[in-house]
């Protein structure tokens, strides 16, 4: 079907290299974002965010009195 003299060989080779690169990068990025340490850290930051939000509301109420 394809021999070494066709012009499609570099295209197919480059396409396969690009497909493998994209799949490996997507697996790496997915692993990075679904890391248990990162999820725990995000939960901790969310907790701090709620605490800061409550403090700002309390401060705003004290200013309006």
Are residues 4 and 27 located together in one domain of the fold?
A: yes
On whether both 39 and 29 belong to a single domain, the answer is no
Which pLDDT does position 59 carry in this prediction? 86
Domain count, the chain: 2
Rounded Cα distance between 38 and 44, Å, is: 10
Give the tens place of pLDDT for each residue, 10-30. Answer: 888 899 999 999 988 888 887
Do 42 and 28 have their domain in common? no
DSSP code, position 10: H
Domain of residue 57: give its range: 35-65
Whether 63 and 43 map to the same domain: the answer is yes
pTM, entire model: 0.44
Q: Are residues 16 and 10 in contact, defined by beta-carbon separation less than 8 angstroms? A: no
């Amino acid at each position: 079907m394809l021999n070494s003299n066709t012009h499609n060989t570099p295209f197919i080779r480059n396409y396969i290299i690009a497909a493998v690169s994209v799949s490996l990068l997507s697996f790496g990025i997915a692993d990075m974002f679904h890391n248990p340490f990162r999820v725990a850290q995000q939960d901790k930051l969310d907790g701090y965010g709620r605490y800061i939000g409550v403090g700002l509301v309390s401060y705003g109420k004290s200013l309006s009195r």
